[in-house]
Amino acid sequence: MKKQNSNYIEEIHLIRAVACLLVVLVHVSATYYYQQDGYNDITFFFNQIGRFGTPLFAVISGFLLFYHVRQKGFQFNKFVTSRFVKVGSPFLFWSLFYIFLLVLLEGATPLAEGKKIFTIDFLLGNSYVHLYFMSIVFQFYLLFPLLQKIRSKQLWNVLLVFSLAINYYFVEHFTPSSFNNELLQYAFSQRALFVNWIFFFIFGGFAAYNWEKIYTLSKKIKLVSLIASILIIVLTVYEYNVNGSVSSNRPLNFIYIPVIFVTLIGLYDYISKLNFLKLALSKVGQLSMGIYLVHMFIIYLFVHYMPESIWTTLNFPFVFLAILLASILFVRAIQLLPYDQYLVTVPKLKNTKRNNIPRSA
């Protein structure tokens, strides 16, 4: 592996792009569910496979921050400022944007269940269906100043196992009814609680502190890991056919997501030889958080203003691409506005050597 001499890892944009495409795939296929009065085999397949996207985003979020600390150290004031610009401000803006959208066009009443429920919903990203992940990331940022103090690889091994146990308990065994307070019951029943996703963020940190080994291994076992990821898809199809819809943070993903992560790192060697595909995925990866924030608005416009005839299974790939492209164009348009950095997070691509990481990610 080449010596790391700056802050850029090209593979990270591939993983970001895949995570972004999978999340959009979930929401486009879910829209088909409502437009077609149910799933068929094709739309349900895409919906279920797409559920690897959110935990991949969580892994990337953890990896980028911990790798930066490993390389550059930690400055609390700079961390707080940058996280407000890159996550806090966009989360606040888009939460309000989607609330006003529903109020103005759907006649929604956000305070119908009271101010306390509204506050919980707002903080946990329930202003619109996809914003919960932004809340999860923000909760991770609250813990990060403490977690970043862990610099030992041995301690990271312990923390990974500990996070897996916590995540498993809250996903499989915890019951909000154990609280006597109804507001606590409601809050702890939400999927946006960080403890329901903690393993994926901690795995990102584990990968950051073991990057050289993981990188070398991923390049050595490219074919094996690819076969393993194909097997994961086959097993997921079997799982949802037997048990019904799968969740993004189910315990099996504690195994599946690290395998997919390693697979994508290895596959970059092949993708980088295809210039058009490399460029396209790099662009999607760069714009991934912006796409994540705006794509549900684009879907909303498609549902309300496009002819019903487009919602056929045969048109699915074209509708998906149209929504993706419209989301990209919308993000680009936002970037033309003053103070756009407070509305969407778009890291800059650097013309640097491989195996380094984006500072602004």
SS3 299: helix
Residue that is written with structure tokens 């690889």 in the block: 153
Distance separating alpha carbons of residues 35 and 32, to the nearest angstrom? 5
The per-residue pLDDT for 345 is: 83
Q: What is the pLDDT of residue 206?
A: 97
- Going by C-alpha positions, the residue among 22, 134, 13 that lies closest to residue 64 is 13
| pLDDT at site 349 | 56
| Per-residue pLDDT reduced to its tens digit, 139-162 | 999 999 999 999 999 999 999 999
Say which amino acid occupies 127: S
User: What distance in Å separates the CA atoms of residue 113 and residue 318, rounded to the nearest whole number?
Assistant: 39
* pLDDT per residue as tens digits for the range 238-286: 999 999 999 999 999 999 999 999 999 999 989 988 999 999 999 999 9
Residue spans of the chain under pLDDT 50 = 1-6, 352-361
* 310, 312, 317, 323 alpha-carbon torsion, rounded to 10°: 40
Percent of the chain with pLDDT over 90: 84
CB-CB contact of 256 with 225 (8 Å): no
* pLDDT at 335 (0 to 100): 93
Rg over CA atoms, the chain: 20
Q: What is the pLDDT of residue 359?
A: 38
What is the C-alpha to C-alpha distance for residues 14 and 79, in angstroms, rounded to an integer?
A: 25
The number of beta carbons lying within 10 Å of the beta carbon of residue 208 is 21
Residues 281, 298 contacting (CB under 8 angstroms): no
Query: What pLDDT, on the 0 to 100 scale, is given for residue 66?
Result: 95
